[in-house]
Amino acid sequence: MELDNAQETPSQEDSSLCGEISPPVLEQAFSKILHCFTGPEARRGNARDVALKDLGDLIEATECVRLFEGSGAQLRGMLETLGKVAKALEQYAAPPKEEEGGGARHSEVAEKAATVGLLFLKLLGKAETAKNSLVGPAWQTGLHHLAGPVCIFAVTHSLEQPWTTPRSREVAREVLTLLLQVTECGSVAGFLRGEKEDEKGRLSVILGLLKPNLNKESWKNNPAIKHVFSWTLQQVTRPWLSQYLERVLPASLLISDDYQTENKILGVHCLHHIVLNVPAADLLQYNRAQVLYHAIFNHLYTPEHHLVQAVLLCLLDLFPILEKTVHWKGDGARPTTHCDEVLQLILTHMEPEHRLLLRRTYARNLPAFVKRLGILTVRHLKRLERVIIGYLEVYDGPEEEARLKILETLKLLMQHTWPRVSCRLVVLLKALLKLICDVARDPSLTPQCVKSSLLQEATDCLILLDCCSQGRVKGLLAKIPQSCEDSNVVNCIRKVQQISEGAPYDGT
């Protein structure tokens, strides 16, 4: 078969003979199709559509052995061209920049993805057939060039995103399933890291393909890139991730440093995954942990509760790593830690905060900080007392999440700092009694189970307070059952009084 100049694509008649053509001629045919996607004529309206049809015909008409036969430079050249075609197809189906009318073109992108996905299924089907034939190891070389672009395509279109439809997601998931089958991998994680100890995974190849689109100037040109990077990163865990740290950390920091809250949250999730799955020694090297801390800490000044939640969870896992370098010799005051710094900022934000979602977010994470600092929480005791009393006074909606978490915080605070609690007896006792009375008489739609939880937690706090004050709470509450008519309040008081002096209590 004779092929015309590189400006043309193979005709259907030529394609029907592809089962008989030699690898050099087949490589030329793929090169012409590649030129239709990357050359000047790619801008013409139907040039790529025609190339897609011709490529499908070419793949169908070519025997699997023809795609993977040959040796040396001849075979490598053909397989490299095939890999470039796969990369061009992946880029052809990629969603456009948002400012280029991305929303209006999402349906068009989904159609392209479905078409490209079917082509990838055909290519992978040929590789699966070749794997079981007498072609030898050539199919593995072919997969080396195909796997990266095919995986990026599958991840881009299998996740639920604005540019996908049920049909395009279904095709993309079929592509990913077949890719794992052909590569003999039991999971995506195995595909990326390698199924065996001595086997090299494909993560390095995929990161190499993503790298040109993950720099400061270009990472927003394709809105799918950040999701592909994040999803891929989170499939690889300890101990495999550490060898890729230099390649994944800059991109994660870049995404987290964006002005859009959505991107900040995505970047913080990536950084959190790195913190959890990279050894502390690697994070401490070259001051990486400090860089992480300062990049994440700055997000605490934003009023977005989803972002604050992601940041606090990440910081709580980063503290043990940062504090590995802090050593107390016992000859003076313990040095303040990063946990102290973050808790101080949180308490500063909590006192005047009136937005319920942020109040709940702060309260949800406060117990973990008290657990982390332990007895050192006494450094923040005055401000914690003000925050606890202030939050106990405010109704928090039907679920009462903030007040329940504040009560949990108070219990932990009394457990860890009990020598300092007795001098705050009157203030804390008044706040707890007021809460019990408010909840008992609450006419709102708060579920009874939530009210019961609040009353039980408040009662536990009273019992702890009594233990910390050597039984003084019992004496102060002695006359309340005689004058109070509310059965719920009386029941709580009696539970406190029933704890005999000296009896062990599991909360202390």
Lowest-confidence pick of 159-168, 403-412, 483-492: 483-492
**Range of 194-198, 308-312, 321-325, 374-378 with top mean pLDDT:** 308-312
Alpha-carbon distance of 139 to 289, in angstroms, equals 43
pLDDT, residue 480, reads: 78
On the question of pLDDT at 69 being above 70, the answer is no
pLDDT, residue 348, reads: 96
Share above pLDDT 90 across residues of the chain, in percent, rounded to a whole number: 52
Find the mean pLDDT for residues 210-217: 90
Closest by CA position to 393, among listed 437, 423, 425, 358: 437
On the question of pLDDT at 164 being above 70, the answer is yes
CB-CB contact of 403 with 391 (8 Å): yes
Alpha-carbon distance of 222 to 217, in angstroms, equals 11
- Assign 170 a pLDDT band (cuts: 50, 70, 90): very high
Find the mean pLDDT for residues 460-484: 85
Share above pLDDT 70 across residues of the chain, in percent, rounded to a whole number: 84
Greater model confidence, 2 or 209: 209
Find the mean pLDDT for residues 381-406: 94
Burial tier of 472 (Cβ tally within 10 Å: 0-12, 13-18, 19+): middle
On the question of pLDDT at 458 being above 60, the answer is yes
On the question of pLDDT at 102 being above 60, the answer is no
pLDDT, residue 19, reads: 44
Cis-peptide, bond into residue 239, ω within 30° of zero: yes
Find the mean pLDDT for residues 316-323: 94
- Assign 129 a pLDDT band (cuts: 50, 70, 90): confident
Q: Scanning the structure block, which residue is given the tokens 């604005």?
A: 162
- Assign 27 a pLDDT band (cuts: 50, 70, 90): confident
C-alpha 340, offset from chain centre: 26
- DSSP letter, residue 506: T
Delineate the domains of the chain, giving CATH numbers in brackets: 336-498 (1.25.10)
pLDDT, residue 127, reads: 82
Burial tier of 140 (Cβ tally within 10 Å: 0-12, 13-18, 19+): middle
Alpha-carbon distance of 478 to 468, in angstroms, equals 18
CB-CB contact of 70 with 23 (8 Å): yes
Alpha-carbon distance of 270 to 254, in angstroms, equals 11
Predicted structure pTM score: 0.88
pLDDT, residue 136, reads: 57
Q: Taking the CA of residue 493 as centre, how many other CA atoms within 13 Å lie in the half-sphere pointing to its CB? A: 22
CB-CB contact of 229 with 263 (8 Å): no
CB-CB contact of 143 with 155 (8 Å): no
- Assign 505 a pLDDT band (cuts: 50, 70, 90): very low
* CA-based torsion, 409, 412, 417, 422: positive or negative: positive
Lowest-confidence pick of 53-57, 349-353, 410-414: 53-57
Lowest-confidence pick of 49-63, 129-143, 383-397: 129-143
Tokens of 55: 């490529």
On the question of pLDDT at 7 being above 70, the answer is no
Alpha-carbon distance of 228 to 111, in angstroms, equals 20
